[in-house]
Homo-oligomer: A and B are copies of this chain.
Amino acid sequence: MKKNSSPETFRKKVRKGLWAKPTSGLAPGFAQANLVILDRSLAFDFLLFCQRNPKPCPILEVLGPGEIEPRRTAPGADIRTDVPLYRIWRKGKMEEEVKDIRPYFNTASVSFLLGCSFSFEEALTHAGIPIRNIDEGKNVSMYITNIKCDPAGPFSAPLVVTMRPIRDELVPRAVQITSRYASVHGAPIHIGHEKKIGIKDLGRPDFGDPVTIQKGETPVFWACGVTSTLGALSAKPDLVITHAPGHMFITDVNNESLAVI
């Protein structure tokens, strides 16, 4: 498939089962989203968890119970088939990965689409700030911090962060650029000093791959959407459906339209 396919073209391929791979770099310019699907009975508390923790859990769209079309962010899409790979979780444990969740989706299923840092990575790149994990062809490094999210009902989680090494003199510019993207994780939550946020060894991320940190670079930490998955699973619901890591839902939302100023 062409890297520059439109989001709609991409989603149609996915729907036909023709793409079950990661989405990094696809449909440049358009926002990709994390997905969490829960039962209606848990939807208020989970929405509140996201509202109380907007940096790791920035909501792009919430579908009403049983709704399958994200008509605000991807008109015509079907949330049950248009994500390349889903994970089915029972009581907080992963059961399987599937390409079609229609057997698991019902009239009480509430779908949450959450912003993803791919959006601001594009803005950083455009501003001449290189992204190490992209340059090294790796997944971004992710770490579980000692910062606790503000809980809501049965949902709680530690804050998970992504780390990107930034040349020391570019750190202020990286803060400025990502600050504009408040609805997709926004400004960093921490700069350097990883031990202060409970990270013992940058070479051993909890998720994703380690990347090279060069002399003259500062590790910069942004809130990460994986927090929303940990949050959803923390309540050990009978059923949670998420995207598989890196296999995001591609929306019709222009990244630039997410900038607050």
* Chain A interface residues toward B at CB < 8 A: 40, 43-44, 47-48, 51-52, 59, 62, 64, 72, 150, 152-153, 176, 179-180, 182, 186-187, 260-261
Given known A-B contacts A62-B51, A64-B152, A64-B153, A260 and B44 have beta carbons under 8 A apart: no
* Residue of chain B at shortest CB distance from A46: B44
A253 CB to nearest B CB, Å: 14
CB-CB under 8 A from A150, the residues of chain B are 72
CB-CB under 8 A from A62, the residues of chain B are 48, 51-52
The answer to whether A261 touches B179, judged by C-beta atoms less than 8 angstroms apart, is yes
Complex CA distance for A43 and B42, rounded to whole angstroms: 12
19 contacts between A and B (CB under 8 A): A44-B47, A47-B48, A47-B51, A48-B64, A51-B51, A51-B62, A52-B62, A52-B72, A64-B152, A176-B261, A179-B260, A179-B261, A180-B261, A182-B182, A182-B260, A186-B260, A260-B260, A260-B261, A261-B261
CB-CB under 8 A from A182, the residues of chain B are 182, 260
A260 CB to nearest B CB, Å: 5
A22 CB to nearest B CB, Å: 28
CB-CB under 8 A from A176, the residues of chain B are 261
CB-CB under 8 A from A48, the residues of chain B are 47, 62, 64
Complex CA distance for A47 and B179, rounded to whole angstroms: 25
Complex CA distance for A51 and B183, rounded to whole angstroms: 12
The answer to whether B59 touches A51, judged by C-beta atoms less than 8 angstroms apart, is yes
Q: Closest 7 CB pairs between A and B?
A: A44-B44, A179-B261, A43-B44, A182-B260, A47-B47, A260-B260, A48-B62
CB-CB under 8 A from A72, the residues of chain B are 52, 150
A46 CB to nearest B CB, Å: 9
Complex CA distance for A59 and B261, rounded to whole angstroms: 19
* Residue of chain B at shortest CB distance from A41: B44
Complex CA distance for A179 and B59, rounded to whole angstroms: 20
A4 CB to nearest B CB, Å: 31
CB-CB under 8 A from A186, the residues of chain B are 260
Complex CA distance for A62 and B72, rounded to whole angstroms: 24
